[in-house]
Structure 1
Amino acid sequence: MGPNRAKGDKDPAEWMPPAKDATCTYATDWVTAKLRWNLTVDGTEARALRTIAASCPDATVTFKLAP
């Protein structure tokens, strides 16, 4: 089973890509999508994202709100 099938609809608190070098990109893309579409984040998801962000000092989130 490939990584995308294993992920299903899990958030970063439940699943991260197996390739460690993809962690920051995946988390940044996740946050960008949440902000762009004004989606909610639950407490567990927010804690996981903060933990991941702490190991991604060069990551930047840039987004434009969806129309």
Structure 2
Amino acid sequence: MSAWAAARREAYTSHQDASTSLVAVTARTNRQKANQDPTTWMPPAPSATCRYLTEWTATKLRWGLNADQPEIDTLNVYAGGPCPESIAHCLPAA
């Protein structure tokens, strides 16, 4: 992202046009997650896990962001386990 033009960085940080971009959570949950990815953090409500992973994946795809191997491994574990029916839908970012 550091190589992105200023307009693209601004679009990424405020891409409110994607319904999955912003999910209301408590301040406590937001602090707990901080800048962690699915490798080290999952939503406290197990019922939210598949949605979180699907939206995480959609955001990565939408913006052409890379995932490191531990992140990919975690996503694969959930895709092959509790979230086999989850599908990430996204449109490429402008």
Give the SS at the match of 1:2. Answer: helix
Q: Which amino acid aligns with 1:7?
A: K
2:92 is the counterpart of 1:65: yes
Aligned residues: 67
Question: Greater relative contact order (Cα 8 A, min sep 6): structure 1 or 2?
Answer: 1
2:49 is the counterpart of 1:23: yes
Q: Which has the larger radius of gyration?
A: 2
Give the SS at the match of 1:35. Answer: helix
Percentage of identical aligned residues: 42
TM-score w.r.t. structure 1 length? 0.93
Where do 4+ consecutive residues of structure 1 move more than 6 Å?
A: none
TM-score w.r.t. structure 2 length? 0.68
Structure 2, unaligned runs of 5 or more? 1-26
CA RMSD of aligned residues (A): 1.1
Q: Which of 69, 72, 75 matches 1:43?
A: 69
